Homo-oligomer: A and B are copies of this chain.
Amino acid sequence: MTAAKPNPYAAKPGDYLSNVNNFQLIDSTLREGEQFANAFFDTEKKIEIARALDDFGVDYIELTSPVASEQSRKDCEAICKLGLKAKILTHIRCHMDDARVAVQTGVDGVDVVIGTSKFLRQYSHGKDMNYIAKSAVEVIEFVKSKGIEIRFSSEDSFRSDLVDLLNIYKTVDKIGVNRVGIADTVGCANPRQVYELVRTLKSVVHCDVECHFHNDTGCAIANAYTALEGGARLIDVSVLGIGERNGITPLGGLMARMIVAAPDYVKSKYKLHKIRDIENLVADAVEVNIPFNNPITGFCAFTHKAGIHAKAILANPSTYEILDPHDFGMKRYIHFANRLTGWNAIKARVDQLNLNLTDDQIKEVTAKIKKLGDVRSLNIDDVDSIIKNFHTEVTTPQVLSARKNKQNDSDVPELATIPSAKRTKPSA
């Protein structure tokens, strides 16, 4: 079966095969995402989403199987005719009936999937590994004969027998499949397991490895990242992660992860400032809100609150930010209207209001703000009023002298701020 005799003492391919700086995105909002409970995309909406994803720069767009319904087939054909830069894929079962329909839609490639876990073999299609291999070879050779790309993926790969998996991947690699896929269909995989499986697979096949991770146990982004470290090349994503159950690796969340690891590659390849618009487009279409804690676009993703955080962020944003909001067309926000605030945050607000107060005066007004913040929730207007009143008090001569007389019986509580803070200019 092996073409060239491997040298067991040579460096292992996995050691230098990280694709963190060289990955591709397969967006499946219009396939996996259509399996999200709330999703119903009409043709017009599908085209709008496909165009937005193409503009963002995804490498592939995956569509629902043309045999799922008559309209699914027509929509697939319509999107193929748009002339997008992204390659168009459709996703079918490992069956000639499906393959025959798929290759006639005009797609650039076909993603074939079959369940290989004992669960799916027993309760879904009821076939053994020999049957799976035979069908796979037939479908792959047929699709290849039409001159379009073909991916073969197992389903529920992490609950499949490793030897079965490697056997079938080796078989399909040998007949020239473009990619093999690993799918964590139930969302059970953990990062170190992913790394091991991808590395092992990369030592068996020559083609690219694509990975698909569900998010049931919250690891879909981390698993995708670790798969790239292990040598996978392509990651399946969807906008906001929509898909079966609670979905898959989200496009935006993965971009947050990848920009940290490969900033130049990510910024040169993808229009990151479009993420917010694409998420809003899809969220509207499936009638959900952007989660409050969504990476990048969640309402507080770049909000800093505790005094100690605000102080450092004002000196240099890198202190408490690994992501620069400007890379995504977003802005940071220093939350100063609360009892955890510190005098550095209030000083920044005083500057914004264009008022003149000494550091000691700012510390004094900060204490007043914190005291009120202990009693109730504050908003910006509350704080601005306190600051402005205080400013009037200390800058109006007659008020000032009256104030000085009662300085000793002040009811201001002790400050919880670091004593000798010196503001430094941001270096970045």
Q: Which residues of A contact B (CB under 8 A)?
A: 34-38, 40, 42, 64-65, 67-72, 93, 115, 117, 119-120, 122-126, 156, 185-188, 190-192, 195, 215-223, 225-226, 229, 240-242, 244-247, 250, 253-254, 256-257, 260-261, 288-289, 291-295, 298-309, 311-312, 315-316, 318-323, 335, 338-340, 370-371, 373-378, 413-414, 416, 418, 420, 422, 424
Contacts and interface: CB of A to CB of B under 8 A. Distances in A.
A217 B323 contact: yes
12 contacts: A64-B340, A93-B418, A120-B312, A124-B315, A190-B229, A191-B225, A216-B322, A219-B221, A222-B223, A241-B293, A245-B301, A245-B302
Contacts of A339: 40, 68-69, 71-72
A14 to B, nearest CB: 13
Contact of A305 (B36, B216, B319): B36
Nearest to A71: B374
Contacts of A253: 217-218
A344 to B, nearest CB: 10
The dominant DSSP class at the A interface is: loop
Given A188-B322, A245-B302, A303-B37, A222 B218 contact: yes
Contacts of A320: 185-186, 244-245
A216 B416 CA distance: 27
A219 B215 contact: no
A93 B215 CA distance: 36
Contacts of A192: 191-192, 195, 226, 229
B124 A222 contact: no
